[in-house]
Copies of this chain bind each other. A is one copy, B any other.
Amino acid sequence: MTQYFGQYLIRQSEIFFTSELSFALVNLKPVLPGHVLVCPKRVVPRFKDLTKDEITDLWVSAQKISSIIETHFKGDSLTYAIQDGKSAGQTVEHVHIHIIPRRPKDFEENDQIYTEIEKADRKPRTYEEMAAEAAELRPYFSN
């Protein structure tokens, strides 16, 4: 199976979760440890393009993933965000939920996180780092 994230062909090694209609991948430029993305398998740009079944599968998957992510990365809260359209900061034309585990005072201002989400100058990780993180997460979701 090949999976596209917008125009990008995603390596299987970056995907740590799949369901019937959704998948989740680790992030090239996480704003905090454990920042992951959940997407519908179908490549559509806007949230309004999703069917009811896709919405359900996407957000039930997000709930499942976020519980694991919050615990694994030792957070006590979570930020969920969708940048739905260009004026909202969307850069990849494929619906995706940002899930970010949060800890007390991880940013000086609580919502500074969102400013970070779109900063282009974050250092990209190596594919090896990304594959290692996905491999760490994948066992939580096996079978």
Give me the interface of A with B, judged by CB distance under 8 Å: 47-48, 50, 52, 55-56, 58-60, 63, 66-67, 75-90, 102-106, 109-118
Contact = CB atoms under 8 A, between A and B. Distances in A.
A71 to B, nearest CB: 11
A102 B81 contact: no
A41 to B, nearest CB: 17
23 contacts: A47-B63, A47-B78, A48-B63, A52-B56, A52-B60, A55-B59, A55-B63, A58-B59, A79-B81, A79-B82, A79-B88, A79-B89, A80-B81, A80-B82, A81-B114, A85-B102, A87-B102, A89-B110, A111-B115, A111-B116, A111-B118, A112-B115, A114-B114
